[in-house]
Amino acid sequence: MADFDLVIRGGEIHDGLGNPGVVGDVAISGDRIVAIGTVTGTGADEIDATGKIVTPGFVDVHTHYDGQATWEHRMTPSSGHGVTSVVMGNCGVGFAPCKPDQHGMLIGLMEGVEDIPEVVMTAGLPWNWETFPQYLDALAARQLDIDVAAQLPHSALRVYVMGERGANREAPTDADLAEMRRLTTEAIHAGALGVTTSRNMLHRTRAGELAPSLNSPEDELLALAAGLRDAGAGVYQLIPDIHGEASDEFALMRRVAAASGRPLSFSLLQMATGDEDGWRQYLGALEASHAEGVTIRGQVYPRPVGLLFGLDLSFHPFSLHPSFRALAELPLANKVAAMRDPALRAKLLAEEPSDTNPFYMAIVQASTATYVMGEPPVYDPAPEDRIDRLAKRQGRTAAEVAYDLLIANDGRNILFLPGANYRDNNLEAAREMCTHPDTIIGLGDGGAHYGVICDASFTTYYLQRFVRDAAPGQAVPLAAAIRSLTSVPATAVGLDDRGRLAPGYKADINVIDLAALTLHAPTMARDLPAGGKRLRQLADGYAVTIKSGVVTYRDGVPSGALPGRLVRGAQVAA
């Protein structure tokens, strides 16, 4: 009889705490690590990790799998990139609590903010809940390939409490505030990991209406904080006003964090326009806050936060043109055939975009300042390769060049618009933010932006671009990078039973061939409910991924095992 369920042998073990890697073995019994070092006993299953690194499973604290976790079992694309635990319900949006007559409103909000097609949610969401505790119960019945933890979204909570007044962003009454506070505490007691909100004015419904949480008065944000304080647990996640002054936004976050007595994190980016030094001001404020004992962290991203455009994606330079609307739902091959007609080409090139959503208009109007992504994907392109600059050298318009690129390669070309974190055409700001002691790497948005963003692959990119392939003197040390993908995010949200390789901890583990690690370009698949589309992104180099002691992926191929479950609330260390 075997001594252990699983033994990983001969790999370079990285504990997730930043210590140097050590060659050895890892033994697993049940869902826990039971021994590390030289393991003399045998395993019912043994994995040869010679020449590979062995890491804790990655933890992604910023996802939107709130819907996907209710209609399918695999949390792709995250689970294909070494992620074994995710936190969802970010940005103040989600599907609970929600009264039956509010389903359409939350679907419309998620369609606009997170680019999830309405038809997908209508077909996929079972709506076997109303309250947030009932939503957690519904999730608890699911079997998944990774663990999920949920947060209470402010916009859903506001509408649940205030009805149409909440959707219309009217000021809350004292009774409204008291009820939001009570329901926040209730959600934490039921197993919510925290509460989330957004002050980002770009968060709108598909029709262009602002999300309910926007413009909420400070006393409402403090009511949510008070709910956390009453519960004595939970974290607070917030997206600041990207157009606001860094000092004012951070001061507000300090007051919220102080009122809750709980950790707070917020989205932190180097913006493409506006205040050039805003991100540095935030880092300085984080350092001062840490020194004064107030726990605030910036959620940061290790590559440009950008948008993807293509004929089979949500947007491209002509997607909002009147003459394209009749083509929008056609199969890709039909779109390409139609657009090769010289008459339609001339018509589309002569038209202007039109839509009620100003954010969508801004996206399309910026879509010719893009780059061809290619395979493998290039996320830090050379400035001279931008389409409008190519067009100028060719004596053509940017729209003409973009048009021809879109219909080339059978319509499968993807154009990339690097936005935040690429202001100076380099990744130095991203590297500095990701290695700062008061930040958490995240913002991958897995489960959302199905047709315009595919950022859940950041774990693979970080190890490839910032560790293995970085220029001399610029590389992030491997042990430090693994720590930033494992124990740091896990600790930040209270998941202290994972993110480390040590006896007693969750057996969430990756065996990675670092030399072979390769990130491929995104592709489009039609595998959502009602035939909905989503971008997927594959990677090579993940030899084995293990969740709760069970092998879930070998060389990127799912084993069929679904050991992932809902995580209710903070988890204690081993």
In a domain, 6, yes or no: no
Give the other-Cβ count within 10 Å of 288's Cβ.
14
Q: Are residues 319 and 232 in the same domain?
A: no
SS3 (DSSP) at 36: strand
Backbone angles phi, psi at 48, to 5 degrees: -85, 110
Nearest to 243 by CA among 265, 275, 210, 267: 275
Task: Please report which confidence band the pLDDT of residue 208 belongs to, taking 50, 70 and 90 as the band edges.
Answer: low
Last residue of a domain, one of 479, 497, 513: 479
CATH number of the domain within which 439 lies: 3.20.20.140
pLDDT at 20: 97
121: Cα within 13 Å, side-chain hemisphere: 25
Burial 112-139 (b: 16+ CB within 10 A, else e): bbbbbbbebbeebbebebebbbebbebb
Task: Please report which confidence band the pLDDT of residue 561 belongs to, taking 50, 70 and 90 as the band edges.
Answer: very high
- The answer to which of 14-18, 132-136, 419-423 has the lowest mean pLDDT is 419-423
Last residue of a domain, one of 442, 460, 479: 479
Residue by residue, DSSP assigns 322-367 as GGGTTTTTS-HHHHHHHHTSHHHHHHHHH-----S-HHHHHHHHTT
Provide Rg for the chain, Cα atoms: 23
pLDDT digits (tens, 9 = 90+) for 424-479: 888 999 999 999 999 999 999 999 999 999 999 999 999 999 999 999 889 999 99
For CA atoms 536, 539, 545, 551, give the dihedral sign.
Answer: positive
Backbone angles phi, psi at 446, to 5 degrees: -55, 140
Structural tokens at position 186: 């209730």
Running DSSP on this structure, what letter comes out for residue 171?
A: P
Tally of domains within the chain: 2
Structural tokens at position 34: 């039971």
SS3 (DSSP) at 10: strand
In a domain, 61, yes or no: no
Distance CA 471, CA 59 (A): 27
| pLDDT above 80 for 202 | no
Q: Are residues 155 and 99 in the same domain?
A: yes
Give the other-Cβ count within 10 Å of 425's Cβ.
12
Q: Are residues 126 and 219 in the same domain?
A: yes
Give the other-Cβ count within 10 Å of 243's Cβ.
14
In a domain, 533, yes or no: no
| pLDDT above 70 for 203 | no
Task: Please report which confidence band the pLDDT of residue 151 belongs to, taking 50, 70 and 90 as the band edges.
Answer: very high
Residue owning tokens 């693994």: 482
Q: Quote the crossing angle between the two packed helices 278-291 and 246-260, to the nearest 10°.
A: 30
pLDDT digits (tens, 9 = 90+) for 44-96: 999 999 999 999 999 999 999 999 999 999 999 999 999 999 999 999 999 99
Give the domain range for residue 284: 87-133+147-303+422-479
pLDDT digits (tens, 9 = 90+) for 393-424: 999 999 999 999 999 999 999 999 998 999 88
Structural tokens at position 315: 């947007």
In a domain, 488, yes or no: no
Region 267-293: what's the mean pLDDT? 91
Q: Are residues 194 and 264 in the same domain?
A: yes
pLDDT at 360: 86
pLDDT digits (tens, 9 = 90+) for 31-45: 999 999 999 999 999
Task: Please report which confidence band the pLDDT of residue 311 belongs to, taking 50, 70 and 90 as the band edges.
Answer: very high
Q: Are residues 405 and 451 in the same domain?
A: no
| pLDDT above 80 for 16 | yes
- The Cα-based distances of 375 to 79, 322, 519 in angstroms read 21, 32, 9
SS3 letters for 406-421? Answer: HHCHHHCCCEEEEEEC
SS3 (DSSP) at 462: helix
Q: Are residues 394 and 293 in the same domain?
A: no
Task: Please report which confidence band the pLDDT of residue 273 belongs to, taking 50, 70 and 90 as the band edges.
Answer: confident
Higher pLDDT, 495 or 242: 495
Q: Are residues 123 and 208 in the same domain?
A: yes
In a domain, 380, yes or no: yes
Distance CA 245, CA 341 (A): 49
Burial 329-363 (b: 16+ CB within 10 A, else e): eeeeeebbebbeeeeebeebeeeebeeebeebbeb
Task: Please report which confidence band the pLDDT of residue 207 belongs to, taking 50, 70 and 90 as the band edges.
Answer: low
Partnered with residue 45 across adjacent β-strands are: 6
Q: Are residues 347 and 388 in the same domain?
A: yes
In a domain, 318, yes or no: yes
For CA atoms 221, 199, 149, 132, give the dihedral sign.
Answer: positive
SS3 (DSSP) at 143: coil
| pLDDT above 80 for 275 | no
Region 216-221: what's the mean pLDDT? 96
Mean of pLDDT over the chain: 95
pLDDT at 441: 98
Region 142-156: what's the mean pLDDT? 97
Q: Answer whether 301's CB lies under 8 Å from 269's CB.
A: yes
pLDDT digits (tens, 9 = 90+) for 88-115: 999 999 999 999 999 998 898 888 887 8
Nearest to 349 by CA among 386, 375, 323: 323
Last residue of a domain, one of 379, 413, 447: 413
Q: Are residues 291 and 317 in the same domain?
A: no
Distance CA 563, CA 163 (A): 38
Residue owning tokens 């040390």: 477
Q: Are residues 441 and 348 in the same domain?
A: no
In a domain, 558, yes or no: no
Distance CA 291, CA 434 (A): 19
Task: Please report which confidence band the pLDDT of residue 128 belongs to, taking 50, 70 and 90 as the band edges.
Answer: very high
| pLDDT above 80 for 157 | yes
- The answer to which of 105-109, 155-159, 176-180 has the lowest mean pLDDT is 105-109
Region 112-129: what's the mean pLDDT? 91
Q: Answer whether 298's CB lies under 8 Å from 441's CB.
A: no
4 membership: H or E segment, kind and range? strand 4-13
pLDDT at 79: 98
Distance CA 198, CA 106 (A): 15
Distance CA 260, CA 237 (A): 12
Q: Are residues 350 and 283 in the same domain?
A: no
| pLDDT above 80 for 201 | no
Q: Are residues 281 and 214 in the same domain?
A: yes
Region 327-351: what's the mean pLDDT? 97
Structural tokens at position 46: 């043994």
| Dihedral angle over CA of 79, 295, 257, 433, nearest 10 | -60
pLDDT at 111: 86
Residues 6+ apart with CB under 8 A from 343: none
In a domain, 371, yes or no: yes
Distance CA 180, CA 417 (A): 39
Nearest to 188 by CA among 132, 140, 148: 132
